[in-house]
Amino acid sequence: MEQATRRTTIADVARAAGVSKAAVSFAFNTPERLSADTVTRIRSIATTLDYRPDPVARMLAQRRTWTIGILTPQGLDVIFTNPYFGEFSAGVATAAEAAGLAIQFISPLHGSLTRAVDRASVDGIIAVGLGADHPEVGQIRRSGIPFVVVDSTALPDAPGVEVDDEAGAAVAAEHLLALGHRDFLVIGIEPPSVATTMEPGGVTARRLAGYRAALRAAGVELADGALVVGPASMEGGIVAFRRAWASGRRPTAVLAMSDAMAIGTMRAARELGLRVPGDLSIVGYDDVDVAQYTDPPLTTVHQPIRRKGEEAVRLLLGGGRLRDEGGLEQQHLETRLVVRGSTTRPGGTVQD
């Protein structure tokens, strides 16, 4: 029976090169501490011996994990059911992998984001949907970990990526107003935890402000109870619309703050016997890939989701100080309305 080939150790390389184990470690982790000739010789001998540095030991020596964390305000069981987050994560992955970085998702641990952040072993964090007042942001600051905020109010000490949520929401409301709708229901994204209220600079507040501005300009006010919130998922949209319907709301149009919630609203409306868009017009927000394949195809506000993820990594590597280049940058991306088949005149038929 053949014996397993023994893996070459750092001691083997040190012995063959006539140097200490510390020198071998320096050659791979902090080569600036040795002469160029010594580094070249040690690495050449290591290659000959088929030596591969232990990744954990290398991480500890460099005090780097080569991993960035995506801090999510809701549990992964909710986040991963939202196609928006899948596309955003794909953008993060594209840029991170190109830079040789891995990704770790950081979600509430036993209901606590603070506990999750404390346990995360990452070199930098992309914080999604968390504003300046969240304790997790203060904790990241105190830890000294570089971070970037996405979909939240710009912070003076961190780069950020956001879209013009207010303008995007306004154009969605204006589209429905132009079709003749006057009775609206807004389905919003609930705050990151039950202990927090709607942040003035958060996504929900900004989009709600855009809806209201457009409606008021047309002489329409949102009625009491015309805003319901839930998790940013299809199930969240189903539950929110059912709750509004059970309370007596009978809108002709729904403004949903995420495509996932809009798709859930379609499902709930059909279960109640409503025609979309004949009885109920629906506009989403995000323009996820699946939005064009729903029945009917979803009218929505487009935002460059994957690019947001890519830009977040770029800012983390630059302005986020992972590469010590300094300088903070705020990246503002544009939105636009995409009209499909889920909207029409009240009681009407789909327009060409």
Tell me: the pLDDT tens digits for 24-35?
A: 888 877 777 889
Mean pLDDT of the chain: 85
User: Which of 74, 84, 54 is closest to 301 using CA atoms?
Assistant: 84
Q: Which residues is 71 bridged to in the sheet?
A: 106, 127
Task: Tell me the backbone φ, ψ of residue 28, rounded to 5 degrees.
Answer: -95, -30
> CB of 322 within 8 A of CB of 316?
yes
Region 52-59: what's the mean pLDDT?
56
Q: What residues are paired with 281 via a beta bridge?
A: 253
Q: Looking at the structure, do residues 272 and 207 belong to the same domain, yes or no?
A: yes
More confident residue, 48 or 32: 48
Query: Do 94 and 57 reside in the same domain of the chain?
Result: no
Q: Which alpha helices (DSSP H) does the chain contain, by range?
A: 10-17, 21-29, 36-48, 55-62, 76-79, 83-98, 113-119, 135-143, 165-178, 203-217, 234-246, 259-271, 305-317
40, 19 contact by CB (below 8 A): no
Average pLDDT of span 59-77 = 73
Q: Give strand pairing partners of 189.
A: 230
Q: How confident is the model at residue 321 (pLDDT cuts 50, 70, 90)?
A: very low
Q: Is residue 2 part of a domain?
A: no
Which residue range forms the structural domain that includes residue 129?
67-162+306-333
Question: Are 274 and 245 contained in the same domain?
Answer: yes
Mean pLDDT of 184-209: 78
Q: How many domains does the chain have?
A: 3
- Measured in whole angstroms, the distance separating CA 237 from the mean position of its chain's CA atoms is 19
> Are residue 211 and residue 295 in the same domain, yes or no?
yes
pLDDT of residue 135: 67
The C-alpha torsion from 321 through 323 and 328 to 330, rounded to 10°, is -110
Statement to judge: residues 55 and 87 lie in one domain: no
Distance, in Å, from the CA atom of 66 to the CA atom of 311, rounded to the nearest integer, reads 18
Q: Are residues 55 and 158 in the same domain?
A: no
**Pair 55, 130 in one domain:** no
Instruction: Tell me, yes or no, whether 351 lies in a domain.
Output: no
Whether the pLDDT of residue 324 is over 70: the answer is no
CATH number at residue 188: 3.40.50.2300
**Which residues have CB under 8 Å from 110's CB, separation 6+?**
none
Q: pLDDT band at 239, cuts 50/70/90?
A: very high
Pairing state between β 124-128 and 67-71: parallel
User: Looking at residues 212-221, what average pLDDT do you find?
Assistant: 96
Q: Is the pLDDT confidence value at 60 over 60?
A: no
Do strands 336-338 and 299-302 pair parallel, antiparallel, or not at all (unpaired)? antiparallel
* Residue 260 vs residues 308, 316, 344: alpha-carbon distances, Å: 18, 28, 20
- Provide the pLDDT for residue 192: 59
In a domain, 80, yes or no: yes
pLDDT at 27: 85
Domain contains 342: no
Query: Which position has the higher pLDDT, 178 or 225?
Result: 178
169 plus 293 within the same structural domain: yes
Q: What is the pLDDT of residues 248-288, one digit of tens each?
A: 999 999 999 999 999 999 999 999 999 999 999 999 999 99
